[in-house]
Amino acid sequence: MTKGLLAVYTGNGKGKTTAALGLAVRALGHGKKVCFIQFIKGAWKSGESNLAQKFAGLLDFHVMGRGFTWKSDDLEKDRAVARQAWDFAVSMIRANTYDLIVLDELTYLIHYAMIAEDEIVDVLAARPPALHLIITGRYASDGLIRAADLVTEMLAVKHPYASGVKAQKGFEY
């Protein structure tokens, strides 16, 4: 039996977006069409956004946030941007033109009460039957976990930042 799966990568460890990118690259390797939507990360240049240019036509990449919400200077603007990003994601899900859609950092929209959990879970449940969805971010809600077919929790055991090593191009972004 094949069906579109809903995967959630959550937890306080690094690697959630990276795991989603790995599945996106796997799908691209099979000629599948992928949409990658980042909800929180700002417009800074990342390796994944550079990758999208090389896979034009198969990988659509959208950075929809204003940056990390916990550093926000205007939460109302963040809420408005989150609503626009969610509405865009809903339209991509319902369009049924992708094989895989990644909703990177979507968990924060629920955690920060920007979009109601029920609204998100209802859209995910009504997705096209063959569509694979990946959701990433800390604080996955109980409703997202119940709705998912696969849930992986990333656990922080050791991180170079604790030793003073800052984020590096090609490894963290």
CB 98 within 8 A of CB 61: no
pLDDT for 1: 63
d(CA 10, CA 51): 23
- Number of domains within the chain: 1
70 classed as catalytic: yes
CB 101 within 8 A of CB 132: yes
27 within domain boundaries: yes
pLDDT in tens, 89-100: 999 999 999 999
pLDDT at 69 over 60: no
Query: Which carries the bigger pLDDT value, residue 54 or residue 72?
Result: 54
Exactly one of 2, 44, 54, 70 is catalytic; name it. 70
pLDDT in tens, 28-52: 999 999 999 999 866 666 777 777 7
- Average pLDDT for residues 153-161, to the nearest whole number? 92
146 within domain boundaries: yes
50 classed as catalytic: no
Give the range of the structural domain holding residue 84, as residue numbers without chain letter: 6-163
85 within domain boundaries: yes
pLDDT at 71 over 60: no
14 classed as catalytic: yes
Confidence class for position 149, pLDDT limits 50, 70, 90? very high
12 within domain boundaries: yes
pTM for this entry: 0.91
105 classed as catalytic: yes
pLDDT at 157 over 80: yes
pLDDT in tens, 93-144: 999 999 999 999 999 999 999 999 999 999 999 999 999 999 999 999 999 9
16 classed as catalytic: yes
Sheet arrangement for strand 6-10 = 59-63, 34-38, 100-104, 132-136, 6-10, 150-153
169 within domain boundaries: no
- Average pLDDT for residues 156-172, to the nearest whole number? 87
77 within domain boundaries: yes
Residue for token pair 């971010």: 137
150 within domain boundaries: yes
17 classed as catalytic: yes
CATH code at 108? Answer: 3.40.50.300
168 within domain boundaries: no
